[in-house]
Structure 1
Amino acid sequence: MVVRGLGDDGRCPMCGEFEESILHMLVLCEEAKWRLSPLRLEVTEVCESSFKAWCEARVGSSKDESWWALFWNVLWSIWLCRNHWVFNQKRTEVQEVVERAFRASLEYRDAQDRLSVGERLGKGLKAWQRPSDETLKVNVDAVVFDTGQVGYGGVVRDASGEVMVACCGQVDGGYEADVAEALAASLVLNVVWEAGIRHIIMESVCLKLIAHLKSAKVETTSFGDLVFDILGLASRFSSISFSHVGRDGNKVAHNLAQLSRSFMETRVWIAKVPREVQTFVVSDLCLVE
């Protein structure tokens, strides 16, 4: 800051003991707390004379992309911690610094997963498409209400667009959007199975869910647990595939999920849908004519 004419004290504002430099601020300062990060980097004896050289020396530490994502986010979190003290005179707990870095690295990894999935799967069908004569199409959707509850909806249609089964219901919520979508898919598939349907294509607007189901990727998270349950149920069907669809192609399931707030229990309709949703069924048919 002294170099930039923003002060007359060149000492580190965090420890107040050494001259502030990028290397000291982000690595050497006791307040940097690298030893407490998940990376467990040892910084007590640093031979490099610059921050750039120190980073280059770490190149051989790991080739894992997630390691580097966490590495850069720890640096960013330390920088934010320093600024919070300099400009707001507020200390940031070490645990918060580490957790912020960890959350940011997970968000980065998730964004990269979504990007690569989007390249593989595309943006999803914009309009509802008829299934083949041999299969039925199941559209599922979830809505998280202001109360925290999750509404879910599902509809099964044949190649002519006729509704075979429709359902909706609510469960106690507090879930993230992707977990809610996975939960909706699990609940709807159970209804479909109980209805005796065995050959299906399942569609969802949740790109992450479809990608995990296609690749059979199971994480040790609430979302991963639901993906595992769905894959287990899927194995019981004679044939099943998963497809991503845009919101315009999922309006019937979405409006069934919205309608669930009107009911206290799960509702199932055979060979019809409630009148509040009929317009969207007809609209889908008009678009594919």
Structure 2
Amino acid sequence: MSVFLLPIEITRDIEKSISKFWWNSSQASTSKISWISWERMAKHKSAGDGDFFQAKIGNNPSFIWRSIVEAKQLLLEGVRWRIGRGDSIQCNYPVCKTAAETIMHCLVNCPVARQCWFVVLPGKQWDDQMEFMNWVQMIFDSENKSKCAEVVMVCWTIWRARNDLVWNQKYTRINKIVAEAMQHLTQWNIAQSRVTLPSLQPIGEGDGVVVWVRPSTNVVKVSVDAAIFEDQNAFGFGLIARGSDGALITAKSVLHTHLVSPDLADALTIKEALSWIDRMQWPQTILESDCLVAVQAIRSNTPMRSYFGGIIEECRSMLKRLHKVSLFFVKRSANMVAHQLARESYNYPDRSFDGRTVPAIIQNCIEMDLN
């Protein structure tokens, strides 16, 4: 019957038969009492005042209605919201819960993402309302190839951190997000390179770490890095000393107005750091650099007849004399404060800093290492 159109008169006859069935108490009964009008009993659900989930149990409910209402909570726990086109749906980003989860907010404008970009793209400004692809194009147009690779990897790691929070209830610290991004990028670059890098044999605790670690009590940790400023025909380096509490003891930035190779710049930085440590007379010092070539060269016994080799020989000699100084190789992600200070050396040439005078951008990096 459901596939045929019935005449209205036949439909009315069917309704009359149904109503007689409900209101007759028995086949022999001739008197009929209509406890409720058929029109009210057969009212369409669209004419109701609400829906089942909003309905109340009411006064003097029947056993059937009481049983149905009792099961309402079970239905609510398993019910799902039908989104449709999503025109009126607002889903906040689960990491900060302060704004809608758009690509731009998730990867760029979220407070957590901004802290990551503060480290990777210091001083970079952009319009919060711009589209994500426009933001990416802006970065690619203004940064070199190496920095663009870092940006792509950090975006990927921010998204991984978001998924860890949503699916595994695991919160990832900001400094770990940046550290993991740099570690993955290093591994990718090595995998893509046709040149096999010599392996670094660990000689002590702290070799190859990816996150900065506080030194032990009464030990000073000195982090160093160099930066090349090709457009300005210069290079600079940053040295930063911190104690067991992670707080800044002192820092130094130096600028040289001529160009050298990156490896030579790092070797000169280590040499300057060893001289600096010697002058400061700290009882025990850990020296960390993210230049694998320089650290391996200093550790080896191979004679080097070049300007670079001469600097390496001086570093070897000072290390032998400074018995309480240990040199370690660390990943870039564990050396972000020195990296940032080296980048700032062009703005702060030949300067020394303490906790009161250190630039805010460096202090923020120090605090991120402690989070």
Q: SS of the counterpart of 1:261?
A: coil
- 1:118, distance to aligned residue in structure 2 (A): 7.2
Distance 1:120 1:138, change over 3 A: closer
Aligned to 1:164: 249
**Pairwise CA distance, 1:194:** 2.0
Distance in 2 between residues matched to 1:271 and 1:280, nearest whole Å: 13
1:173 equivalenced with 2:254 (yes/no): no
Is 1:131 aligned with 2:209? Answer: no
Shift of 1:198: 4.0
Q: Say if 1:166 and 1:268, in contact at 8 Å, map to a contact too.
A: yes
Distance in 2 between residues matched to 1:237 and 1:123, nearest whole Å: 19
Q: Which has the larger radius of gyration?
A: 2
The amino acid of 1:140's aligned partner reads V
Q: Say if 1:253 and 1:206 are closer, same or farther in 2 by CA, change over 3 A.
A: same
Measured against aligned partners, the alpha-carbon deviations of 1:38-59 in whole angstroms (never above 9, x if no partner) come to xxxxxxxxxxxxxxxxxxxxxx
Change (3 A) 1:219 1:198: farther
| SS of residue paired to 1:268 | strand
Which position in structure 2 is the counterpart of 1:283? 368
* 1:140 maps to 2:224: yes
Compute the displacement of 1:123 (Å): 8.4
Q: 1:217 to 1:164 in 2, by over 3 A?
A: farther
Match of 2:290 in 1: 205
Identity of aligned residues (%): 28
Partner Cα separation in structure 2 for residue 161 and residue 119 of structure 1? 24
Distance in 1 of aligned mates of 2:254 and 2:207: 28
Note the residue ranges of structure 1 that are not aligned, 5 or more in a row.
1-110
How far apart are 1:158 and its partner, in Å? 1.2
Structure 2, unpaired ranges of 5+: 1-194
SS of 2:277's equivalent in the other structure is helix
Q: Could you tell me which of 235, 242, 246 is aligned with 1:150?
A: 235
CA separation of 1:203 and 1:218: change in aligned 2, threshold 3 A: farther
Query: Aligned pair in 2 of structure 1 residues 120, 242: CA closer, same or farther (>3 Å)?
Result: closer
Which among 102, 110, 115 is matched to residue 198 of structure 2? 115
**Cα distance per residue 1:224-265 (max 9 Å; x no partner):** 1111112222233241111111111111111111111113x4
The offset of 1:135, in angstroms, is 1.9
Match of 1:266 among 320, 329, 350: 350
State the secondary structure of the residue aligned to 1:192: helix
Which structure exhibits the higher relative contact order, with contacts defined as CA atoms closer than 8 Å and separated by 6 or more residues?
1
TM-score (norm 2): 0.43
Matched residue type, 1:192: I
Q: Scaled by the length of structure 1, what TM-score is found?
A: 0.55
Kindly tell me: are residues 281 and 224 of structure 1, through their superposed partners in 2, closer, same or farther at Cα, counting changes over 3 Å?
Answer: same
Is 2:309 aligned against 1:230? no
Q: Distance in 2 between matches of 1:234 and 1:165?
A: 21
**3-state SS, counterpart of residue 237 of structure 2:** strand
- How many angstroms apart in 1 are the aligned matches of 2:334 and 2:261? 23
Contact (CA 8 Å) 1:118, 1:207: kept in 2 or not? no
Residue correspondence of structure 1 range 40-59 to structure 2 within 5 A: none
CA distance in 2, matches of 1:235, 1:283: 34
Shift of 1:270: 3.4
Q: How does 1:66-105 map to 2 (within 5 A)?
A: none
